């Protein structure tokens, strides 16, 4: 860049394209993936300053898509490692967002933050940590007594704190306290705070879906009173947790089935149910002959009105022709760009099927034993004040493998 351009405060892109800075930052840079944005910071000091401001980073985070997360294990030069991978449907690519030098499991995801767990088989103890793959930050968590398990993570908007929702059930060995749900401040030394159960009874929790300031679970089992309310007899309710006042309530669901799953449908709630017929033959008595996916979308949140929007027949015959007679596939419904598609994980292949039941592209993930998690990752470069305060906090240190360093 020449002296005259620097004096005028122009950037190379502005000089070449004649674009005002508002367009450059608000419409172009804010939409780039985190890794590309970090590379753009090297263009000039003005870009680095502008793209490092918290306001810009928050806007950048809102423009990032939420990608389905996969875990995969492999060995690199004899060192066991665990990969965190995300499927980008626009690029039709499974991208590695983190490579760890130890085997971890994924416990929660929120605003680009991941809570990981690691089990020490020698000491028979599970340790936890929090990380941000985009900024390569990592820190161990000081944990409460872990006769709990994590069922959700959220940002408490009034305080800006990140908190975990913990569940303690009757099947666990109780050291102290009540059976039910607790809130735990991420990285706190204080014990978790009891917040009760959703109404009366015991519930199982799957991966939650966040809409506005609430988390939603589709409860697969109700173990409460012998004579529950009518809406609990007729269907399996959606459990709603208000992250502002930290209270539970129930929402009606559209289907009567224990084979249904809740998912994020472009910022609202969707529920899908799998229906299949078993083909009774001697070769494989459990082979699915047909499978259809029914999808309901929440049309009105306040009145809890659902619409059945899709009924999709999977192209099983075509899938068997291309990938063999295997029915042990995992399936998830994902929304993107106003539509839905299905991801089928079959061995090392990730197969995409559109809302019309048409077989689209497939990706060969490789020899990594991939596993679907049902979590979504919406990457973020926002700096969080709690991170440096945690003991053991590091950037680009262990457990990250060095090959993905990009800061």
Banded pLDDT at 233 (limits 50, 70, 90) = very low
d(CA 88, CA 101): 24
CATH 2.120.10 residue ranges of the chain are 64-402
Q: Which CATH number fits domain 64-402: 1.25.40, 2.30.29, 2.120.10, 1.10.4160?
A: 2.120.10
pLDDT given at position 271: 92
Give the lowest-confidence range in 15-29, 215-229, 314-328, 364-378.
215-229
Segment holding 392, helix H or strand E? none
Tokens of 332: 């998830």
Instruction: Kindly report each contact of residues 167-170 with a partner whose C-beta sits within 8 Å and lies 24 or more positions away, as own/partner.
Output: 167/205, 169/202, 170/202
Instruction: Assess contact for 138 and 397: CB atoms under 8 A.
Output: yes
Locate tokens 């060095």: which residue? Answer: 402
Q: Is the pLDDT of residue 58 over 80?
A: yes
Question: In percent, how much of the chain has pLDDT > 90?
Answer: 32
d(CA 304, CA 250): 11
Name which residue leads in pLDDT, 86 or 336. Answer: 86
pTM: 0.84
Instruction: Kindly report each contact of residues 300-305 with a partner whose C-beta sits within 8 Å and lies 24 or more positions away, as own/partner.
Output: 301/211, 301/268, 301/269, 304/251, 304/252
Q: What is the dihedral of CA 147, 151, 156, 157, to 10 degrees?
A: 180
Name which residue leads in pLDDT, 17 or 307. Answer: 307
- DSSP string over 155-206: EETTTTEEEEEEEE-TTSPPSSS-SEEEEEETT-SSPPEEEE-SSSS-B---
Q: Is the pLDDT of residue 251 over 80?
A: yes
Q: Is the pLDDT of residue 282 over 90?
A: no
């Amino acid at each position: 860049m020449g002296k005259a351009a620097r004096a005028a405060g122009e950037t190379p892109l502005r000089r070449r394209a004649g674009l005002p800075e508002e367009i450059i930052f608000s419409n172009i840079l804010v939409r780039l993936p985190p890794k590309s944005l970090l590379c753009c910071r090297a263009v000039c000091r003005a870009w680095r300053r502008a793209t490092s401001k918290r306001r810009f980073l928050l806007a950048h985070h809102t423009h990032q898509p939420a990608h389905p997360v996969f875990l995969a294990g492999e060995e690199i030069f004899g060192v066991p490692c665990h990969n965190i991978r995300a499927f980008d449907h626009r690029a039709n690519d499974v991208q590695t967002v983190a490579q760890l030098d130890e085997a971890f499991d994924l416990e929660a995801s929120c605003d680009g933050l991941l809570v990981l767990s690691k089990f020490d088989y020698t000491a028979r103890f599970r340790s936890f940590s929090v990380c941000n793959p985009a900024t390569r930050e990592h820190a161990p968590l000081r944990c409460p007594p872990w006769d709990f398990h994590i069922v959700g993570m959220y940002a408490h908007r009034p305080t800006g704190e990140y908190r975990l929702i913990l569940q303690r059930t009757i099947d666990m060995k109780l050291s102290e306290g009540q059976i039910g749900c607790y809130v735990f401040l991420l990285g706190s030394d204080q014990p978790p705070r009891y917040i009760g159960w959703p109404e009366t009874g015991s519930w199982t929790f799957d991966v939650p879906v966040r809409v506005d300031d609430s988390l939603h679970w589709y409860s697969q089992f109700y173990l409460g009173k012998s004579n529950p309310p009518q809406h609990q007899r007729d269907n399996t309710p959606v459990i709603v947790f208000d992250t502002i006042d930290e209270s539970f309530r129930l929402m009606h669901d559209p289907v009567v089935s224990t084979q249904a799953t809740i998912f994020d449908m472009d910022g609202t709630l969707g529920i899908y149910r799998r229906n299949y017929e078993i083909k009774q033959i001697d070769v494989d008595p459990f082979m699915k002959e047909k499978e259809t996916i029914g999808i309901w979308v929440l049309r009105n949140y306040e009145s809890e009105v659902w619409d059945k929007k899709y009924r999709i027949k999977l192209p099983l015959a075509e899938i068997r022709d291309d990938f063999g007679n295997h029915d042990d596939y995992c399936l998830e419904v994902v929304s993107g760009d106003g539509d839905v598609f299905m991801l089928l994980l079959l061995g090392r292949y990730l197969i995409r099927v559109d809302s019309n039941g048409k077989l689209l592209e497939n990706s060969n993930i490789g020899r990594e034993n991939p596993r679907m998690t049902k979590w979504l990752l919406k990457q973020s470069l926002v700096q969080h004040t709690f991170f440096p305060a945690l003991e053991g906090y590091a950037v680009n240190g262990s457990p990250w493998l060095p090959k993905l360093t990009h800061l």
